[in-house]
């Protein structure tokens, strides 16, 4: 199989899992449009050229040219990444800071992390996997504190109560969808 086909399958499988999660909480538009820019020539070509199979092609591009053109293109267009929301600070002392993300994009970020964990862990995946993955990684200080708290709350809830209860809570109480 060529890398273009393998990369296409990887991003489409991921997109399908995110879509299933988003649909369960009533986020139909976001479920359909999630990560669409990965199919744009700018991002797709990099994904093929640096296809790895077990890690992000963006990291391979970073190692080779010092930055990831695909990621810079991606984060500027996809609102479920907190990096999209980094802006100049008007406060003293800081140059950049994370703005508070609209709730529906925090939820999409959760679905993104669940899908990534499912693909990475395969049959070893449990409802606690996304939380463990989050705790292993360092999200940094450029995410808005309230956004961080909300994401962590969802991840803990998922680990303790599972998808059915967490998704029902998000749909009815957080997003207030019928
Ligand atoms: Zn994305």
- Indicate the average pLDDT of the chain: 95
Distance (Å) from CA 158 to ligand 1 centroid: 21
Read off the pLDDT of each residue in 20-35 and give the average, rounded to a whole number.
98
Name every residue whose Cβ is closer than 8 Å to that of residue 178 and which is 6 or more positions away in sequence. 26
Q: Which two tokens stand for residue 49?
A: 């050229």
Confidence of residue 131 (pLDDT cuts 50, 70, 90): very high
pLDDT per residue as tens digits for the range 136-173 = 998 988 999 999 999 999 999 999 999 999 999 999 99
Distance (Å) from CA 163 to ligand 1 centroid: 21
Name every residue whose Cβ is closer than 8 Å to that of residue 142 and which is 6 or more positions away in sequence. 82, 83, 86, 96, 97, 98
Distance (Å) from CA 70 to ligand 1 centroid: 11
Distance (Å) from CA 39 to ligand 1 centroid: 12
Distance (Å) from CA 93 to ligand 1 centroid: 30
Distance (Å) from CA 91 to ligand 1 centroid: 29
| d(C-alpha 95, C-alpha 122), whole Å | 40
Q: How many CB atoms lie within 10 A of CB 11?
A: 16
Domain ranges of the chain: 80-174
Distance (Å) from CA 133 to ligand 1 centroid: 17
Q: Around ion ligand 1, which residues have CB less than 5 A away? A: 35, 78
| d(C-alpha 88, C-alpha 85), whole Å | 10
pLDDT per residue as tens digits for the range 87-113 = 998 878 778 999 999 999 999 999 999
Q: How many CB atoms lie within 10 A of CB 176?
A: 9
Position 103 scores a pLDDT of 98
pTM listed for this prediction: 0.94
Distance (Å) from CA 157 to ligand 1 centroid: 23
């Amino acid at each position: 199989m060529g890398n273009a086909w393998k990369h296409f399958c990887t991003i489409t499988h991921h997109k399908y899992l995110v879509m299933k999660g988003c649909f369960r909480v009533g986020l139909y538009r976001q479920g359909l449009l999630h990560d669409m820019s990965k199919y744009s020539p700018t991002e797709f070509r990099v994904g093929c050229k640096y296809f790895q199979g077990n890690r992000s092609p963006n990291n391979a591009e970073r190692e080779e040219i010092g930055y990831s053109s695909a990621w810079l293109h991606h984060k500027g267009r996809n609102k479920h990444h907190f990096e999209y929301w980094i802006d100049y600070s008007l406060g003293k002392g800081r140059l950049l800071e994370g703005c508070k993300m609209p709730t529906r994009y925090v939820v999409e970020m959760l679905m993104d992390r669940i899908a990534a964990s499912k693909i990475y862990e395969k049959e070893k995946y449990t409802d606690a996997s996304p939380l463990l993955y989050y705790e292993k990684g360092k999200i940094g200080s450029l995410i808005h504190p309230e956004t961080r708290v909300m994401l962590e709350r969802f991840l803990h809830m998922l680990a303790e109560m599972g998808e059915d209860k967490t998704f029902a809570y998000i749909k009815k109480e957080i997003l207030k969808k019928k």
